[in-house]
């Protein structure tokens, strides 16, 4: 992969005297376009004209992986199972909560009211006060519209009563 970048040297001002004892500052810039070749995809070290890949990476530019923890390999890449991400599908995705570093981030630490490997299910346990989310809210449009209409009817009934 080639990346083109524009480099310039800091300006070097020079002062020249003009007539009527006024001065002018001339600023000169030197620009050059440099092509930077990115080797090894940040997955290895480029030495002696070739990539020396780190970990479970291989290929001329360290573009392939040889292991997938929670997924399947296809064409040298990992296709991660639901709830996992990363080059090796080794990073857990926690819907609510955060990865448990004591377990090498293979599970999630869930806040109250959430459970499951990815903190993606309502536990129906824990405090019933905010800021904990209500995990059983139905947010479908038709249900929300119906609830809004019921609330408006109740308010109007109270106002006219």
Q: State the average pLDDT for the chain.
A: 74
Query: Is residue 39 within 8 Å of residue 59, measured between CB atoms?
Result: no
How many domains in the chain? 2
Length of the chain: 161
Alpha helices in the chain (DSSP H): 141-160
Q: What's the pLDDT at 56?
A: 93
Rounded Cα gap, residues 89 and 100, in angstroms: 16
Higher-scoring residue by pLDDT: 103, 108: 108
For residue 106, being part of any structural domain is answered with yes
Shared-domain flag, residues 82 and 124: no
pLDDT at 39: 81
DSSP 8-state symbol, 161: -
Q: Encode pLDDT of 32-51 as tens digits.
A: 665 545 689 889 999 998 99
Is the residue at 99 inside a domain? yes
143 within domain boundaries: no
69 with 21, same domain: the answer is yes
Residue range 117-154, pLDDT digits in tens: 899 888 766 555 555 556 654 445 555 555 555 555 55
CA distance 88 to 145: 44
Phi, psi (degrees; rounded to nearest 5) at 42: 60, 25
The answer to whether the Cα torsion of 91, 92, 96, 97 is positive or negative is negative
Domain of 100? 94-136
Q: For residue 101, what pLDDT band results from cuts at 50, 70 and 90?
A: confident
User: Which CB contacts under 8 angstroms, 24+ apart, belong to 58-64?
Assistant: 61/1
Q: What is the dihedral of CA 139, 145, 151, 156, to 10 degrees?
A: 170
Do 22 and 86 have their domain in common?
yes
Could you read off the pLDDT of 69-84 as tens digits, one per residue? 999 999 999 999 999 9
**Same-domain status, 102 and 89:** no
Quick one: which of 123, 98, 122 has its CA closest to 109?
Answer: 98
> CA 83, 89, 90 angle in degrees (round to 5)?
90
Q: Both 6 and 74 in a single domain?
A: yes
Q: Give burial (CB, 10 Å; 0-12/13-18/19+) of 119.
A: buried
Q: 26 and 64, same structural domain?
A: yes
């Amino acid at each position: 992969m080639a990346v083109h970048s524009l480099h310039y040297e800091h300006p070097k001002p020079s002062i020249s005297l003009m007539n009527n004892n006024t001065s002018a500052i001339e600023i000169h810039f030197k620009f050059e376009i440099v092509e930077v070749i990115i080797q090894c995809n940040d997955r290895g070290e480029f030495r002696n004209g070739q990539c020396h890949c780190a970990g479970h990476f291989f290929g001329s530019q360290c573009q392939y992986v040889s292991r997938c923890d929670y997924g399947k390999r296809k064409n040298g890449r990992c296709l991660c199972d639901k709830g996992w991400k990363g080059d090796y599908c080794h990073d857990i995705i926690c819907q609510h909560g955060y990865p448990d570093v004591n377990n090498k981030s293979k599970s999630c630490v869930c806040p109250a009211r959430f459970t499951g490997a990815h903190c993606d299910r309502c536990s129906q346990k824990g405090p019933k006060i905010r800021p904990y989310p209500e995990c059983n809210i139905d947010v479908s449009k038709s249900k929300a519209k119906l609830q809004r209409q019921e609330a408006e009817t109740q308010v109007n009934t109270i106002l006219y009563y």
